[in-house]
Structure 1
């Protein structure tokens, strides 16, 4: 795709190109990598799965930072915009990353050193099955980002259609305790958490009331054991990818 078509693409990610131009997306990811804990990942020589890749910012940056294999997974039918942005960047960066149409409920039959799941879980009706699939697919680390609120209780907060930012696809906010408990059942422990802070001063943050449906965070987990929860597949609206092998007590 020629560079002349840059402004005709419906971008989501702002990506700095080789000539210094920036794609006109909605989200300045490069300036906010720390909010996704992406800047803390050691990717050299690693394989990486980018679930919900959209325009592919994290896929291409992982590749540029030494990842030996990158698989970008998405389904444009479930979001606005198509593949033009990804295809443009793939050609522009002369990338070897692979794009594949797929679902978090039916991940590729392959395991990766690092799994990224950014901006996905809160759009799902069955986040538990989705998280188990992510953990099963990861050999070393998983990073989630989304509508996550700070609480030790393993709870979900139901979001009505259009309640959050007018978006009918938002379903659940979830607590940090929820993610940690699911991670533990899958043999992972938390190593990082980045909560977003919207108030401009410490005093405002102190008096700010928690609003689970609007809080955002990123959480990073590392594998410490080879476990799979012993839930029966019939318990899930969509069965987890795998319920085989060793089980959590």
Structure 2
């Protein structure tokens, strides 16, 4: 099949190509990198796993900023757009990034310096196993971004089908304390965060209650110990790979 042109692709990521053209994605990723804490990562010489890579913006930018190896993981069967955008950009940037069809519940049998998990957790029916897998796969850092609300209690907020934006794949939001608690059980500590504040002034933000249905955040964690949560595999709908490895299964 002939290569598709930029106009023929259903894009999610908006980015500028080498020739100045701009892909017609939903989000201008270059302008919003700070919302994902991506602009604060030291990528030179690092290996990186991009979970839920979609068109591959973060994979290709990590490569261009010095990452020595990038693995892009996704399953295009569960989203619109397919692989057209990723394949186009891979050719356009003459990339060496490795695309793999896969699931956060069955990550590659290797570990990476940095793991990115952007816009994934709130689409999952078992976010705990997914987070444990992500932490286990990381040697140094993990960054999560998604529907995360600020709260001191480690809570999940269940969404009914189509309750949020009419999207039946939105299942859970979670509190910042929930993410931090799972991180601590996996040997990670919080080093950076970016909350999306929609109130217009500092006073209004200080008075604003957290919104479990809509708030978004990015949270960056760094490994401080090699830990595995003391759960039994039978507690999970999908057994985390890290637990199985720790028990020699």
- Name the TM tier (shorter chain): over 0.9
Q: Aligned to 2:28, what secondary structure does the other structure show?
A: coil
- Indicate if the aligned counterparts of 2:132 and 2:182 stay in contact, CA closer than 8 A: yes
Partner of 2:71: 71
**What is aligned with 1:106?**
106
Aligned-residue offset at 1:107: 0.2
- Change over 3 Å in CA distance of 1:149–1:196 after alignment to 2: same
- The aligned runs of 1:1-249 (5 Å cut-off) are 5-243=5-243
Matched-pair contact (CA < 8 Å) for 1:70–1:97: yes
Following the alignment from structure 1 to structure 2, what is the Cα–Cα distance between the partners of residues 130 and 27?
Answer: 25
Shift of 1:206: 3.3
Distance verdict in 2 for CA 1:18–1:239, change over 3 Å: same
RMSD: 1.6
Looking at structure 2, the residues matched to 199 and 18 of structure 1 have their Cα atoms a distance apart, in angstroms, of 37
State the 1:209 CA deviation: 3.1
Which range moves more in the overlay, 4-13 or 63-72?
4-13
Runs of 5+ unmatched residues, structure 2: none
Distance 1:3 1:102, change over 3 A: closer
Q: Which runs of 5+ in 1 are unaligned?
A: none
Residues 227 and 246 in structure 1, CA contact (< 8 A), matched pair in contact too: no
The CA distance in 1 between the partners of 2:212 and 2:53, in whole Å, is: 25
Q: Is the 8 A contact 1:228 1:244 kept in 2?
A: no
SS of equivalent to 1:191: strand
Cα distance change on mapping 1:106 and 1:246 into 2, 3 Å: closer
What is the rounded CA distance, in whole Å, between the counterparts of 2:68 and 2:197 in structure 1?
Answer: 34
2: distance between equivalents of 1:125 and 1:68? 33
Instruction: Provide the TM-score with structure 1 as the length reference.
Output: 0.96
How far apart are residue 140 of structure 1 and its match?
Answer: 0.1
TM-score of the superposition, structure 2-length normalised? 0.96
Q: For residue 202 of structure 1, report the CA deviation from its aligned partner.
A: 2.4
